[in-house]
Structure 1
Amino acid sequence: MSALLSLAPTTLSSDYQIRFANLHDLEQILAIYNAEILNGTANWNDQAVSFVDYRQRFLTLQEQQFPMIVVEDLKLKKIAGYAYYASFRNISGYRQTIEHSVFIDQNYARKGMGKALMQQLVHLAKQQQMHIMVAAIDSENMGSIVLHEQLGFVQTGYMPQVGQKKGTWRDLVWMQLQLSN
């Protein structure tokens, strides 16, 4: 993937590096993802995901030429967060529309890493000539909604009670960013 796409300069401190994810990162990536599943509401899965299943997701992204990137704490040699995008819908008419995901280890929350990863995703999506980037956000995740607004995303929909997490109905906010004319 890195041979085809290039990352943009970042404003993160020199203690951190954004780079393309590789198979060696998957255990740490999966730990971040499963922590969100078990403790948060950004992801509405009910059960932790296995390494085998997440490895397949990673390989599918690579096969489809979609990037997964990580922000690495260089001092601790630890993945602090990760992000990727994939097809919005598996229908040919949506081929230039993507949906993204960003997950940050809670020990690194509110340090600008989500924003830096989002900026990289936008940069990469433009290189791949994508047209629209979509975000599906839990309506109570105001930090994510505000971040997306700061990056130029606009709310395009609100769907009450379309999902559940821990037995509670959740509302979904749809946001999107136009990447090209």
Structure 2
Amino acid sequence: MPQIRPATPADLPAILNIYNHAVTHTTATYDHAPVSLESREEWFAERQAAGFPVLVAETEDGGVVGWASYGAFRPKLGYSRTVEHSVYLAPDFQGQGLGGELLDALITQATAQGYHLMIGVIDAENEGSLRFHRRHGFSEGGRLPQAGHKFGRWLDAAFLVRRLQEMDAPPHGQG
């Protein structure tokens, strides 16, 4: 069974391959063209500098077969307790519970870091991802009709949300 661990720069080629497979074959991301290793290196450095995790699922033989991360939902101070997450798996490792392990690890870390809400922006036709999120305590917070496009058609974006912890009031005067 793969283990979940923090990613290192050496994992970036595998993370890139998993992501680019999703770019070219799915609507899990609305990117239209594969991204470069340099862009993933920048993304990773930005996540690290901001204190956001990048996790990988690694097999016993050292292969990275999935990754997950979260980052700022929006850059305004009022959203500072809300994060948006991503979970991606290599095609041969989907449907085996590994995505749930990655997501649970993200939820645990985001809660420990004091975040209040986690959001996933999902293609509204992706029933598998919608079910996956519901199984992990997310509910639909809204839909944006025709918010994106890919493969020659309009795509609705569903916002799946999970409250991570109750807070009587938002933090006063801090991020």
Please tell me the TM-score bracket, short chain as reference.
Answer: over 0.9
Matched, 1:162 2:147: yes
Structure 2 alignment gaps of length 5 or more = 167-175
Matched, 1:180 2:165: yes
Aligned-pair distance for 1:180? 1.2
Residue 42 of structure 1 aligns to a residue whose secondary structure is coil
Aligned-pair distance for 1:172? 0.8
Distance 1:38 1:50 in 2: 13
Of 63, 67, 72, the match for 2:58: 72
Aligned-pair distance for 1:140? 1.3
Matched, 1:41 2:27: yes
Of 13, 19, 27, the match for 2:13: 27
Of 68, 82, 105, the match for 2:90: 105
% identity of equivalent residues: 36
Matched, 1:117 2:102: yes
Matched, 1:91 2:76: yes
Aligned-pair distance for 1:73? 1.0
Deviation beyond 4 Å, 4+ runs, structure 1: none
**Aligned length, in residue pairs:** 166
Match of 1:135 in 2: 120
Structure 1 alignment gaps of length 5 or more = 1-14
Distance 1:173 1:131 in 2: 19
Amino acid in structure 1 at the alignment position of 2:99? G
What is the RMSD of the two structures over their aligned residues, measured on CA atoms?
0.7
State TM-score, norm by structure 1.
0.90
Residue 11 of structure 2 aligns to a residue whose secondary structure is helix
State TM-score, norm by structure 2.
0.93
Amino acid in structure 1 at the alignment position of 2:42? Q
